């Protein structure tokens, strides 16, 4: 990724670039035999991802905290595409109890699961703890998706095995993963307000998304599971993710408007990694503008990835849902 390709939208080796839209990168792809979960699918690039997956024929489960918004999103998709198959389920990624309830509710639907899009997140919020006592950005962006994926992985393995269709997990990270705390993850004081930086805490959670994807990709490969796990940076898109810094980013966008994307462009890399046949078997990689790109050096630290995996499991086990 460089400024020239960002500004011009010039395509990379995949044939797509920063100006490509989610519809364009999935053109001609049939997904009518697939079931997908999209977290945060009620708004922004999550909604666009859900819409395009449904447009290509997938049965889409919109997982969202705001059920009213999720139901409105479903109706919007159905107005555009009467044959779309869309369901909504409540999911609050900052709550261990809610995540477990979501997994149980999804299981009760007795559906297969081919694609998991870990899209939802929060950005740059003031210091606060989740109801389980975990720093909110780490809890929502990483821990929630870590637990959700763990709870759904056996369903994905079984689906891939019985259907013969490769399962795909996509973690939405960010180029912000480069800007984190010293050492990457504050394992010893993850929940401490002292030294908290809303920007670095966000970067920490986005680094965790990539480390999680890489470690899971390694484990699934060792298991011989027909599932790939990859991370994406969607680009700079002004959605409600910026609600804690809206004015600041309006100003920044004015001076950097040439490198910002619209929502259809922002969902393109997610949809490309989730559906495109050219990525069959590709796992543990990082994509920007629908092309594989190098991530930070920390993301290649296998010991750090394993430490985060063990730390995340321990944190879940020690948390006390209310």
Q: How many CA atoms lie within 13 A of 272 on its CB side?
A: 28
Structure tokens given for 94: 């900052």
Is the sign of the CA dihedral 141, 74, 116, 176 positive or negative? negative
In three-state secondary structure terms, 115 is strand
Name the one residue in this structure whose structure tokens are 């890489």: 214
Name the one residue in this structure whose structure tokens are 């879940």: 316
In three-state secondary structure terms, 276 is coil
Tell me which residues are annotated as active site. 196
Distances (CA, A) of 33 to 11, 36, 80: 29, 10, 20
- The answer to whether the beta carbons of residues 168 and 115 sit under 8 Å apart is yes
Distances (CA, A) of 54 to 167, 230, 260, 269: 17, 21, 26, 16
């Amino acid at each position: 990724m460089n400024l020239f390709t960002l500004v011009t939208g010039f395509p990379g080796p995949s044939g797509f670039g920063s100006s490509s839209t989610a519809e364009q990168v999935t053109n001609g792809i049939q997904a009518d035999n697939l079931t997908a979960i999209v977290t945060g699918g009620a708004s922004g690039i999550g909604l666009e991802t859900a819409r395009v997956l449904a447009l290509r024929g997938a049965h889409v489960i919109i997982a969202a905290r705001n059920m009213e918004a999720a139901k409105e999103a479903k109706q919007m998709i159905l107005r555009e595409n009467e044959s779309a198959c869309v369901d909504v389920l409540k999911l609050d990624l900052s709550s261990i109890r809610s995540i477990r309830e979501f997994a149980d509710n999804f299981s009760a639907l007795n559906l297969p699961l081919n694609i998991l899009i870990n899209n939802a997140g929060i950005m740059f919020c003031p210091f606060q703890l989740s109801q389980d006592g975990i720093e909110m950005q780490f809890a929502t962006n990483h821990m929630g998706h870590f637990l959700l994926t763990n709870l759904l992985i056996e369903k994905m393995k079984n689906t891939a095995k019985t259907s013969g269709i490769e399962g795909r997990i996509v973690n939405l990270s960010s180029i912000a993963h480069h800007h984190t705390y010293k050492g990457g993850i504050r394992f010893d004081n993850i929940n401490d307000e002292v030294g908290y930086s809303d920007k670095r805490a966000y970067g920490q959670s986005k680094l965790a998304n990539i480390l999680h994807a890489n470690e899971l990709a390694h484990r699934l490969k060792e298991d011989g599971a027909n599932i790939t796990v990859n991370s994406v940076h969607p680009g700079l898109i002004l959605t409600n993710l910026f609600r804690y810094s809206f004015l600041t980013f309006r100003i920044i966008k004015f001076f950097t408007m040439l490198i910002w994307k619209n929502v259809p462009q922002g969902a393109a890399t997610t949809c490309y990694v989730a559906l495109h046949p050219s990525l069959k078997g590709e796992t543990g990689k990082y994509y920007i503008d629908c092309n594989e790109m190098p991530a930070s050096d920390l993301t290649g630290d296998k010991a750090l990835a394993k430490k985060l995996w063990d730390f995340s499991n321990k944190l879940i086990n020690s948390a006390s849902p209310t």
